[in-house]
Structure 1
Amino acid sequence: MLLNLNKTAIATHCALFFATLPSFYSIADPLKNPPSNDTSLERMIVTGSRSVERIEGVPSSVTLINKKMLEQDRLMTSELQNLLAFRVPGLAPSTGTSSNSGQTLRGRKALVMIDGVPQSTPLRNGQLGISSIDVGVIERIEVIKGATSIYGNGASGGIINYITKQASNNKAQVQIDASSKFSAVKFDNSSGYRFNGSVNGTLKNVSYVLSSITAETGLERDAEGDIIGLKYGLSEMKSQNLFTKLGYTFDNDKYLQLTYNYYEAQQDTDLIDVVGSVNSGIKTYAVKNITGIEKKGVPQGPRGNHNLMLKYTDDEVFSHTQLTIDGYMQKIENMFFFSTALANPSEGYQGGQSFIKSEKKGLRANLTTQFDWDNIEATFIYGTDALNDVSSQPLADGRIWVPEMDMRNLAAYLQTKLVINDDWILKAGIRQDSIHVNVDDYQTIKVCRTPVKCSIPMDVKGGEINDKSTTYNIGLRYNIHDSFSPFVSFSQGSDISDLGDLLRLATVNDITLIRTEASIVDNYEIGASGQINDLGYEIAAYRSTSELGTSNEYNEVTGVYQPVRAPQKIWGYEAQLNYQLLNNVKTGLSYSWMEGKDTDKDTYLENRIISAPKFTAFVNWQPLDEANIAINYMHVGKRKRFEPIDGNYIGTQGPVNSYNLINLSASYQLNNWQLSLGIENLLNEDYFSARSQAYTFDGYNTKGLGTTVNLGIKVSF
């Protein structure tokens, strides 16, 4: 097997083989030392194959949010979930909270990364990965859609990769910006602040980026002026992001880079919820705690997300082959809200507050070899991944909800790309994963939804879960003409995501009796893209299947939603258009629709998996060289696939009604100064987000943000 081969031997044999190939050319990495002209990078990505390539050479759907888009959208909001929901077709609408639960990518979970370092916690998916860094230190965002195995476990729906800021090739550049956000519906105590200071540059062989961001939100208010509810809430949220990137260039080929990012965001408030639900028809909103009773729990949110990466690149390690070696460490504690659902009155617990602990250590070696042979340009990308992920979900009171899961993952992969006659692009690859997860003996905890509805504690024998999987991908694109470039692809992903959810609700006494095996997701896609004069477009249709998808089923006796492994199929389509209307006016739109079923029962998948249809449009106008105005529009459609049971909707089967959102941003550049204005929900739409409508659990039906203004000023020198 490929995994049993000695890594040094693999590299040696590859070196000898590629050394004999004719007509080589050198590999350049523009993302390592970017040119001063950012437009040359607008169509470049690194995430899809771990090597720099143009989007036109990728036979699958890709969304790139470049620097200019990010800077424009940041004027309206700093919430990454909102930015991504608008820019990425196929990504479910934003939840309006710090949680991305229900915000799937084509109906499946996405692996969130920072510079290729995983932020998601697939062993116990708390679904908080999208909000794991401040947007102010992100240069660009690359989104690869569909199952992919090139980065391993957790990418059954695709990848969201945050590429952090790069140093300029010039002398020190300093940027300071400040902004304040407040409600235009009811100003009282709604104002917050945000400060960002950064410096970057290059001094001889040393490049550097240093950034510090601190922010605090005021009271977030809905269209009626009420304070939005607190479950994963954003009111009175204090956040901090410290970022450092240091690089050293040994010569034209060799480069060393050290990156560290620290992020925390906690909601420290004396507010309490007035709880409603979808079935009661009453919204959940927050009020000041004037009961005189001390609020239970500690602040919710990331208590410290540490990311450390050391990366070495040699563009000419042998035979015009690039070598990249990176080691990384990631540590995070995500604290959830205090929940009475974790009560156990018989032991004196009136509720509980859980948090996800995750520590990852990884080492990756990636080689990229390119050559010309007659009418063929070939690229080979090959290497190994080693990952140790230790995750658990204890409660703040000392109880253990999910035991510690110690995963060791070793993988080897080979990806090939052939460009034939400059028109045909064929990509194919294979990856083999060997996964071992150790879990000690543990006992499930007793949780009570009501005094009479309680789960039954179970002593579970631990052990080792072993899984080996081989996944494949193949894709073909034909660049027949600038106006029409069709593509078709098949890709697989291996996913053992949310093992912790299976363990914490075990109903058997031995871990070997729980269906913990990985699910292989098969993804099929067909589409086309092109540029016709000033009109650019991309259309795609997809279908993904898995024999062991995970959904939830309500247990009437215990009042607990238990995970169920069942085969699933998901299908949908997307379309995106961009049009340069005038030299200073650009517009565009997108539409995405998806559906999914449990194929065993022939029933529709719940709304936490399948999102409602989404339509977006934008107009970007530059009336003066110094001024820019942008308007974004998003329509979320209906999805009503389920009927109430005994008069009530259950789980995440609430009916989703449509709503519309319009956002505006404007900026004016005055020498080194920039003045900006951003307005979210310009027309003060009174709405529940798609997730708030779908989730029937008490306290989740919070309304969306009402009209909110963001004023900013920035100076660069």
Structure 2
Amino acid sequence: MEMRSLALAVAAVACTAAQAQETDNREMEQVIVTGSRFVESIDEVPVSVTVIDRETIERQLQVSAELQNLLAIQVPGLATGNGSTSNFGTTLRGRAPLVMIDGVPQSTPLRNGGLGMRSLDPDVIERIEVVKGATSIYGNGAAGGIINYITKSAADSEFAGQASVSSRFSAVKFEDSAGVRTQGSVSGTRDQFSFVAGASRDERGVERDAEGDIMGTIYGLSESVTQNFFTKLGYRLDGDKSLQFTYNYFEGQQNADLVDVLGSVNDGTKTYAVKDDGDSGHGDPQGPRGNHNFMLKYVDNSLTDNTAMTVDAYGQVIENVFFFSPTLSNPEEGYDGGQSMIKSEKRGLRFNFNTQLDWEDVDATLTYGLDALNDVTSQPLLDGRMWVPEMDMDSLAGYLQSKWIIGNDWILKAGVRHESIDLLVDDYRTLKLCRDADTCSVPMDVKGDELSYEATTYNLALRYHINDHFSPFANYSQGADISDMGRLLRTATVNDIGLIQTEASIVDSYEIGLDTHFDDFDFSIAAFESTSELGTANAYNPDTGIYEPVRSPHKMWGYEAALTYRFSDRLSAGANYSWVEGEDEDTGEYLDARIISPPKFVAQLDWRPLDNASLALTYYHVGDRKRFEPDADGNWSGAYAPVSAYDVVNLSGNYAMDNWRFFAGIENLLNEEYFSARAQAFTYSGGAYHSMGLGTTVNAGVNYTF
């Protein structure tokens, strides 16, 4: 980053408010496992990290059970929420994050469908760790950082549990909007055995906007049913050795008796849904139809006197069904559209070792190991056509990460990872797809091949504890990314896979920041930049009606900040702000809204008027981003339309009595009429994304703990 830009960034950050975190946890040392694969104090991590604890998750659940909403509010640098089931366009500092559950990838980077964030119920999450910037510690798909859902651990007692029931409905127009959410979990520890089990079911009514109309169904939540079943079993062999098995099942499908009335960004009309009185609906229910995650973990904390070992094997089966789209039509073959599904099966084996070394004034930690992964991903259409052929990837990586604590004040981190990837694709034929009778893509027979990639990436970071109050840091990290190979293959215009520009992208990420801690006040700032020689943008081809990949170099830069202040034991406040921008370095043009989100500001106030009662108020502001000009006819295309600012206020509260807790939350308290940033900027699918945001919606329920 140029010095002038960096100075402006830091100056702007210094006067900007940022994210609220729970100050009551100040007296307990916060630890994370995501950044280095072992437990370490967050004060020793020289990168920007956001940790969302269980108390914050529970407070958000009083308003909404949607993880994307929670993350958008709590994580500076993460793109604005869009009120849907998809995280398409939800980037972290302008690049795609890797979503994980206990370290197991949920994203499908070979064909990124943007559904990984919504992969389990928030009631089974203990905390969420977000590490920002490119990272090679977990391999492919983490160009923007990592979002890791850490699931609950067993209670210390022999048996404990909780159950809740709640209802969510529109306060603008109640008709058909009421839904019911039920959830329960039990856990316990007895002798060497521990267990956690949880189940939830969320049945929704229709989602209504601020005018009382039903929101559009594309990636919608109206009349959807979400189910989650979670089990974690542990057995301690002795004081240092343990086994753990985890299984998570998640499905969340929309089977709505609704049909969209399409609006348009260009003429200012909104998209909304009406009851389907005929047979105008198409296809199967959209959403995850049944995603399975398995993990078996063995831990030995005393492999040698100073070395611990963790071995885990995991498997995953994903089937994510998308909405019916008329752009997948082929009139010659009798198809008036189509519905695609991303299928992905992963099998992985990981060996991780952690060695502690001590010298007179130096404490060293070495983390090293091997990762093996097989990922088979494709994107067929439900009618039998194959849109993205099966991609069979084998990956083997070795890594070494080191941390050096020098004199208790300096923390130095350095690491290297070497990854070898083989990707096999058989011969295939691209689809003929028609936007209308006269605009069709040209099908192509493509010769398959086995592609091989070798990538070595490095990271170097430094943090200095000036005193108990000030701690600056700087870091440089790289990530190797072959994300969204499927998008490249399905739009091939050559007859040999070897001629398609499938090279891996190396992302270079730079960051400087400062953390400050006082008795009742925390403040942090960070400025960042990332570059890559190959990007993932698309350009519209008017001759075929298809958005084709353009792999030109990309640069993103920005800044973010966070603060909290505790006025008293009963009153605390916080805020967060983030700004990110990006450009195509070949053309000098700004990147579109699929990659870059507008500025975001969040302020939160938490008040505990009684020992057993609390209230929380959240103000969520999304700023303007108007970087592009319309075409000669004054119309917008792709994801280039302007975004105008909007504001949303949420309110929640709870009251506890014995083992009972009564709670309520109101989303969009002031019934603001707005379009999300994605709805304003995206013109895809004939205006299907242009739904107005959620109107005032009430969520109320009761929780019982035993």
> Quick check: TM above 0.5?
yes
Check the 8 A contact 2:403/2:413 in 1, yes or no.
yes
SS in structure 1 at match of 2:327: helix
Give the TM-score of the pair, scaled to structure 2: 0.96
State the shift of 1:532 in Å.
Answer: 2.5
Which residue of 696, 711, 717 maps to 2:683? 696
Counterpart in the other structure of 2:551: 565
State the shift of 1:317 in Å.
Answer: 0.6
Counterpart in the other structure of 1:214: 201
Q: Which amino acid aligns with 2:161?
A: V
Say if 1:353 and 1:42 are closer, same or farther in 2 by CA, change over 3 A.
farther
State the shift of 1:39 in Å.
Answer: 7.3
The superposition leaves residues 109-167 of structure 1 with CA deviations (integer Å, 9 ceiling, x where unpaired) of 00000000000000000011000111111110000000001000000000000000110
Task: Please tell me whether residue 346 in structure 1 is matched to residue 332 in structure 2.
Answer: yes
Which residue of 624, 627, 638 maps to 2:613? 627
Instruction: Tell me the distance in 1 between the aligned counterparts of 2:485 and 2:450.
Output: 13
SS in structure 1 at match of 2:538: strand
Counterpart in the other structure of 2:425: 439
Instruction: Tell me the distance in 1 between the aligned counterparts of 2:467 and 2:698.
Output: 45
Instruction: Tell me the distance in 2 between the aligned counterparts of 1:584 and 1:40.
Output: 16
**What pairs with 1:68-87 in structure 2 (closer than 5 Å)?**
68-87=55-74
Counterpart in the other structure of 2:385: 399
SS in structure 2 at match of 1:180: strand
Counterpart in the other structure of 1:539: 525
State the shift of 1:174 in Å.
Answer: 1.6
Instruction: Tell me the distance in 1 between the aligned counterparts of 2:657 and 2:41.
Output: 35
Q: Which amino acid aligns with 2:201?
A: T
Instruction: Tell me the distance in 1 between the aligned counterparts of 2:232 and 2:365.
Output: 29
Instruction: Tell me the distance in 2 between the aligned counterparts of 1:67 and 1:220.
Output: 27
Q: Which amino acid aligns with 1:236?
A: E
State the shift of 1:42 in Å.
Answer: 5.9
Counterpart in the other structure of 1:12: none
State the shift of 1:40 in Å.
Answer: 7.3
Indicate the structure whose relative CO is greater, using CA pairs within 8 Å and at least 6 residues apart: 2
Which residue of 620, 636, 658 maps to 2:622? 636
Which residue of 473, 476, 483 maps to 1:487? 473
State the shift of 1:38 in Å.
Answer: 7.9
State the shift of 1:534 in Å.
Answer: 1.1
Instruction: Tell me the distance in 1 between the aligned counterparts of 2:407 and 2:26.
Output: 26
Instruction: Tell me the distance in 2 between the aligned counterparts of 1:247 and 1:683.
Output: 47
State the shift of 1:293 in Å.
Answer: 2.3
Q: Which amino acid aligns with 1:257?
A: Q
**What pairs with 1:463-478 in structure 2 (closer than 5 Å)?**
463-478=449-464
Check the 8 A contact 2:308/2:355 in 1, yes or no.
yes
SS in structure 2 at match of 1:76: coil
Q: Which amino acid aligns with 1:583?
A: D
Instruction: Tell me the distance in 1 between the aligned counterparts of 2:294 and 2:325.
Output: 33
Say if 1:263 and 1:42 are closer, same or farther in 2 by CA, change over 3 A.
farther
**What pairs with 1:307-346 in structure 2 (closer than 5 Å)?**
307-346=293-332
Counterpart in the other structure of 1:263: 250
SS in structure 2 at match of 1:413: strand
Q: Which amino acid aligns with 2:585?
A: T
State the shift of 1:169 in Å.
Answer: 1.2
State the shift of 1:294 in Å.
Answer: 4.6
SS in structure 1 at match of 2:535: strand
Instruction: Tell me the distance in 1 between the aligned counterparts of 2:625 and 2:281.
Output: 37
Counterpart in the other structure of 2:698: 709
Task: Please tell me whether residue 110 in structure 1 is matched to residue 97 in structure 2.
Answer: yes
Counterpart in the other structure of 2:137: 150
SS in structure 2 at match of 1:224: coil
Counterpart in the other structure of 2:578: 592
Which residue of 85, 90, 108 maps to 1:98? 85
Counterpart in the other structure of 1:654: 641
Task: Please tell me whether residue 48 in structure 1 is matched to residue 39 in structure 2.
Answer: no
Which residue of 524, 531, 551 maps to 2:537? 551
Instruction: Tell me the distance in 2 between the aligned counterparts of 1:40 and 1:395.
Output: 53
Which residue of 601, 608, 633 maps to 2:594? 608
Counterpart in the other structure of 1:422: 408
Check the 8 A contact 2:259/2:280 in 1, yes or no.
no
Task: Please tell me whether residue 685 in structure 1 is matched to residue 672 in structure 2.
Answer: yes
Which residue of 151, 154, 165 maps to 1:167? 154
The superposition leaves residues 629-668 of structure 1 with CA deviations (integer Å, 9 ceiling, x where unpaired) of 0011110000000000122111100100000011111001
Instruction: Tell me the distance in 1 between the aligned counterparts of 2:218 and 2:82.
Output: 11
The superposition leaves residues 254-302 of structure 1 with CA deviations (integer Å, 9 ceiling, x where unpaired) of 0100000000000011100001121121110000011x22521010000
SS in structure 2 at match of 1:56: helix
The superposition leaves residues 220-272 of structure 1 with CA deviations (integer Å, 9 ceiling, x where unpaired) of 00000000000000001101100000000111100100000000000011100
Task: Please tell me whether residue 224 in structure 1 is matched to residue 236 in structure 2.
Answer: no
Instruction: Tell me the distance in 2 between the aligned counterparts of 1:703 and 1:658.
Output: 14
Check the 8 A contact 2:479/2:506 in 1, yes or no.
yes
Give the TM-score of the pair, scaled to structure 1: 0.94
Task: Please tell me whether residue 183 in structure 1 is matched to residue 156 in structure 2.
Answer: no
Counterpart in the other structure of 2:506: 520
The answer to which of 255-264 and 696-705 deviates more is: 696-705
> When the two structures are aligned, how many residues end up with a matched partner?
680
State the shift of 1:450 in Å.
Answer: 1.1
Instruction: Tell me the distance in 2 between the aligned counterparts of 1:381 and 1:638.
Output: 43
Check the 8 A contact 1:42/1:66 in 2, yes or no.
no
Counterpart in the other structure of 1:356: 342
Which residue of 23, 38, 44 maps to 1:57? 44
Gaps of at least 5 residues in structure 1 are 1-36
Task: Please tell me whether residue 254 in structure 1 is matched to residue 279 in structure 2.
Answer: no
Which residue of 371, 375, 378 maps to 2:364? 378
Which residue of 193, 200, 203 maps to 2:187? 200
Task: Please tell me whether residue 369 in structure 1 is matched to residue 355 in structure 2.
Answer: yes
The superposition leaves residues 677-698 of structure 1 with CA deviations (integer Å, 9 ceiling, x where unpaired) of 1110111110000000010122
State the shift of 1:326 in Å.
Answer: 0.2
State the shift of 1:408 in Å.
Answer: 0.2
Check the 8 A contact 1:666/1:676 in 2, yes or no.
yes
Instruction: Tell me the distance in 2 between the aligned counterparts of 1:594 and 1:621.
Output: 32
Counterpart in the other structure of 1:34: none
State the shift of 1:712 in Å.
Answer: 1.0
Q: Which amino acid aligns with 1:706?
A: G
SS in structure 1 at match of 2:154: coil
Counterpart in the other structure of 1:120: 107
Instruction: Tell me the distance in 2 between the aligned counterparts of 1:41 and 1:191.
Output: 41
SS in structure 1 at match of 2:452: strand
SS in structure 2 at match of 1:676: strand
Counterpart in the other structure of 1:302: 288
Instruction: Tell me the distance in 2 between the aligned counterparts of 1:371 and 1:578.
Output: 36
Task: Please tell me whether residue 141 in structure 1 is matched to residue 100 in structure 2.
Answer: no
The superposition leaves residues 390-424 of structure 1 with CA deviations (integer Å, 9 ceiling, x where unpaired) of 00000000000000000000000000000000000
SS in structure 1 at match of 2:533: strand
The answer to which of 576-585 and 107-116 deviates more is: 576-585
State the shift of 1:87 in Å.
Answer: 0.1
SS in structure 1 at match of 2:626: coil
Counterpart in the other structure of 2:14: none
Instruction: Tell me the distance in 2 between the aligned counterparts of 1:417 and 1:71.
Output: 34
Gaps of at least 5 residues in structure 2 are 1-23
State the shift of 1:533 in Å.
Answer: 2.9
Counterpart in the other structure of 1:289: 276
